[in-house]
Amino acid sequence: MLSPLAAGVALLALCPSPPPVEGPTDEEVLAAWSELEPDVQRELVEWFRAEVVWIDTFQNSLLRFVRENQPRDPGLWPVLEDPGWFDPKVHAPAQPIARRPLSPTSSTLERKREEFFFRVPERKLDVAYVYDYASRELRRTQRVDDPDRIFRNALAGYGPDHDLCEALVEMWLDDGAKQEAARAFAHTYTDRLGRAYTGLSLYDAWASGANMEMPDVDTLGILHELEDDWKSFTAPVPASRQDDLYEKVGALFQEVHRHRGLRHALAMTFLAGYPALRDGYGSNLERFHALWDDEDSTPEKMLERLPEVDGWEKFLESWVRKHDRSKTLKKAGELRRDTLHNDGLWVRHTMISIMQRAEVLEVDEGG
């Protein structure tokens, strides 16, 4: 069972000052890093790993708490793989158009990726661990131990386990209520020509708000899996009935989107001061920090507080009113936000300090 973070709350109250601002710029640090041999880069990253965990910050208390409660060794989480697409022979036998995966380097795939994620704020954190709502497990990429990824994250203010711990918090906030829907929308996005966009899911497509093709096999596949309804619509779906089908699938998507989007935003604000929140939650950054403070930064407590999907709107409206009318809640959220932001600056400072002590980065005489 997860317990309240008493030590973390005490550290938060101290609100430590940020590190000195003098020193090399990101461009100067990146230039020095790029000149190093791979073996030297790996040594510096290991040095950074060993040292950064001892910084006495609120953020580190949260990270320590998550690591101590993780259910398995991080290396034992499965590798992230493409889940595959709906089978036309099963879900649209009258239109058995074979699916053909596009090459990972395909310009068509890249254009579609840009289109789907156009409205998603770019993150400074390069994640190697993600939470998978379909399996209710973490998934990892092959770049987990990539020294360059860890270094660039450090320069942006993120420790080596930040993405792992964020994904674990997101897992703890998910009660599995929308697992079946998550599994259905996790299928690979395809178009009417049979092209399969590897790495892009139906969830990505529906969440994008962009114009997208909706082949019968995909919309019917979702309906078949979630509603077990094989009679209301059959392929080829006539134009006169497509709007009804899309509206039905859209309602199913909205439920999983509300469930997943809220939890993802809260997981991002658990550890970072100014994360780039997606799905329209950006205006709630301080409110979510205040919400975490109200629950002692304890995922178990937050899970108990989160609403069912049909209570999503009421939950948010109620918290917005309560937060915006309370100077105490506002100050608590701002304090938590700024403390975590300063803690991230200490992470960056630590990486730079190690490079300077290793004499691979010139020491700023003015600092």
pLDDT of residue 13: 54
pLDDT of residue 211: 84
Q: How many residues does the chain have?
A: 367
Contact status, residue 338 vs residue 273, Cβ threshold 8 Å? yes
When comparing pLDDT for 140 and 15, which is higher?
A: 140
Give CA separation, 107 vs 81, 102, 212, 315, in Å.
21, 9, 17, 42
Q: Does residue 199 sit in helix, strand or coil?
A: strand
Mean predicted confidence (pLDDT) in 190-207: 96
pLDDT of residue 174: 98
154-188 burial, b for 16+ CB within 10 Å, e for fewer?
bbbbbbbbbbbbbbbbbbbbbeeebbebbbbbbbb
Strand locations in the chain, DSSP E?
A: 100-101, 129-132, 137-140, 188-190, 195-201
In 10 A of CB 139, how many CB atoms? 17
pLDDT band at 15 (very low <50, low <70, confident <90, very high): low
DSSP state of 79: B
pLDDT of residue 14: 54
Residue 9 pLDDT > 60, yes or no?
Answer: no
Mean pLDDT (the chain) is 93
Residue 7 pLDDT > 70, yes or no?
Answer: no
Kindly state the percentage of the chain with pLDDT values over 90.
Answer: 89
* Tens digit of each residue's pLDDT (9 = 90 or more) over 41-88: 999 999 999 999 999 999 999 999 999 999 999 999 999 998 999 999
The Cα–Cα gap between 165 and 5 comes to 15
pLDDT band at 363 (very low <50, low <70, confident <90, very high): confident
pLDDT of residue 1: 43
pLDDT of residue 362: 86
pLDDT of residue 147: 97
Q: Is the preceding omega at residue 236 within 30 degrees of 0, hence cis?
A: yes
pLDDT of residue 194: 95
Mean predicted confidence (pLDDT) in 123-142: 97
The Cα–Cα gap between 357 and 312 comes to 51
The Cα–Cα gap between 264 and 177 comes to 15
Element (H, E) at 221: helix 216-227
Mean predicted confidence (pLDDT) in 360-364: 83
Segments making up each domain of the chain, as ranges:
6-12+19-357
* Tens digit of each residue's pLDDT (9 = 90 or more) over 79-111: 999 899 999 999 999 988 999 999 999 999 999
Mean predicted confidence (pLDDT) in 146-160: 97
For residue 363, which of 7, 13, 32 has the smallest C-alpha distance? 32
CA angle at 285 for the pair 283 and 291, rounded to the nearest 5° = 120
Kindly state the percentage of the chain with pLDDT values over 70.
Answer: 94
